[in-house]
Amino acid sequence: MRFDEFSLHPKLLGALSHLAFDEPTEIQKLSIPLILASKDVAASSKTGSGKTLAFLLPMVQRLLTSRVLGKRGPRALILAPTRELAKQVHAQLRLLIAATSYKSALILGGENFNDQAKALQRHPHIVIGTPGRIANHLQERSLFLDGLELLILDEADRMLDMGFANELKQIHDAADHRLRQTLMFSATLGHTDFEALSTVLLQSPQRISVGQEFEQHDDISLRFILADHLDHKQTQLEYLLQQENYQQVIVFTATRSDTERLATLFNAKGFNSVALSSDLKQSARNNIMDGFMRGHHKVLFTTDIASRGLDLLNVSLVINFDMPKVAAEFIHRIGRTGRAGAKGTAVSLVSAKDWASYLAVRQLLNLTDDFMVLPGLEAKFTGLTSAPRKRKPHAHPLLRKAQQEVAQSKTEDAHAARVAAAHRRRPGKQASDEQLAQEGFAPLRRRIVKD
């Protein structure tokens, strides 16, 4: 199948030809026709499978071929959980709309609010941003979504993990009309709260899942190494950086302080390293990512801020210095390598504090215990017998009111049932003739008592 079989606009086909994109990926084959048919879609596919183009192409096609719904505000809004992912989506969008008259705006936290308000006054057709800053502009009335035609959530589950539920509700309420089409994309849709979110945002959605949601990536070789403590991990990490054959490497840590500490430590050891975390100013984050993507740095130490969607083709090695707290996040982390058909390696260091997370990942991916041992760095730690604690399900903020109403209704129904049962048991209560007849009893002749 080829892109021209979707009956795309000639300007889009020209952009695809310029980018040397000829054949759609599986997620694109399945999702593009449904989106072009104005269906709400919830789609999942492994990282590096072309999800971004799967929603950008039909979005631009709709703008090129349909009439405007409203007089103010953008026609399409794309939300991403992190600034880095939003920037990457915006870069891909600009390539697609280069030959059109459409304008776009990138609205991110950490950047000048007034400059963004001025950009929004220039009436961009497409806005890409992070939920927090978009909600801020809605509150300040510098952004209106009355005529929004397309609301797209990229890595929707990550937005929930980052605590953007209230912001998503504000955005949904600002563009809540029946003509809005909503799309949700992620590498994993089996999130605890995803069903709740999709119930609120989507109308009769078409669900697409390419491959098993939590399956081992064929292009990524997984290795697990037992570790005793922090110093032992650092020694193992140094060995891996010295011995592994890689172009660039991303090292994931649990805390922001560890990213800076380890980057400083390994720079002193001769490794060209840089640290990325969410507490840096946006300009600093931009410089770090631009430098890493241009190959100016060999090693990137980061938290889960860089685990989603970033297309870093030169990353051939991912190292989990700390295991992620959420097992599904492991899929996103290792997905920074092995992209677009390239081969990659993911190494995870597992100490006692990582054991519960390791067991959750092992169960998720149906792995067997097969630990790699580094020469001269064998761990004394051999694992624990306790299983990870199960998280209790919790009510999603977007559905809390609805769930409370349902619970109240159930309580009232139960109370009514108890009252009715007590009423039936009350002595001296006589059934009507009609009730007795329905139950198969002949009506009793009532005794007439005379004074």
d(CA 308, CA 154): 9
pLDDT in tens, 316-352: 899 999 999 888 788 888 888 876 667 889 999 999 9
| pLDDT, position 281 | 80
d(CA 271, CA 265): 9
| pLDDT, position 381 | 94
d(CA 441, CA 189): 57
| pLDDT, position 326 | 83
At which residue do the structure tokens 């991303």 appear? 250
| pLDDT, position 253 | 93
| pLDDT, position 438 | 47
Three state DSSP letters for the chain = CCHHHHCCCHHHHHHHHHCCCCCCCHHHHHHHHHHHCCCCEEEECCCCCCHHHHHHHHHHHHHHHCCCCCCCCCCEEEECCCHHHHHHHHHHHHHHCCCCCCCEEEECCCCCHHHHHHHHHCCCCEEEECHHHHHHHHHCCCCCCCCCCEEEEECHHHHHHCCCHHHHHHHHHHCCCCCCEEEEEECCCCCCCHHHHHHHHCCCCEEEECCCCCCCCCCEEEEEEECCCHHHHHHHHHHHHHHCCCCEEEEECCCHHHHHHHHHHHHHCCCCEEEECCCCCHHHHHHHHHHHHCCCCCEEEECHHHCCCCCCCCEEEEEECCCCCCHHHHHHHHCCCCCCCCCEEEEEEECHHHHHHHHHHHHHHCCCCCECCCCCCCCCCCCCCCCCCCCCCCCCHHHHHHHHHHHHHHHHHHHHHHHHHHHHHCCCCCCCHHHHHHCCCCCCCCCCCCC
- What fold, for 3-209? Rossmann fold (3.40.50)
* Residue ranges in the chain modelled with pLDDT below 70: 47-48, 187-194, 211-218, 307-311, 339-341, 386-451
Q: The domain 220-365 is classified under which CATH number: 3.30.360.10, 3.40.50.300, 3.90.1200.10, 3.30.460.80?
A: 3.40.50.300
| pLDDT, position 93 | 95
| pLDDT, position 136 | 95
| pLDDT, position 132 | 93
d(CA 445, CA 19): 92
pLDDT in tens, 352-404: 999 999 999 998 888 888 899 999 999 999 988 755 455 555 555 555 655 56
Predicted TM-score of the model (pTM): 0.66
**Beta-bridge partners for 218:** none
Does 3-209 match 220-365 in CATH topology?
yes
| pLDDT, position 344 | 86
One-letter amino acid of 333: R
| Domain extents in the chain | 3-209, 220-365
Q: Going by DSSP bridges, is the β-strand pair 104-107/126-129 parallel, antiparallel, or unpaired?
A: parallel
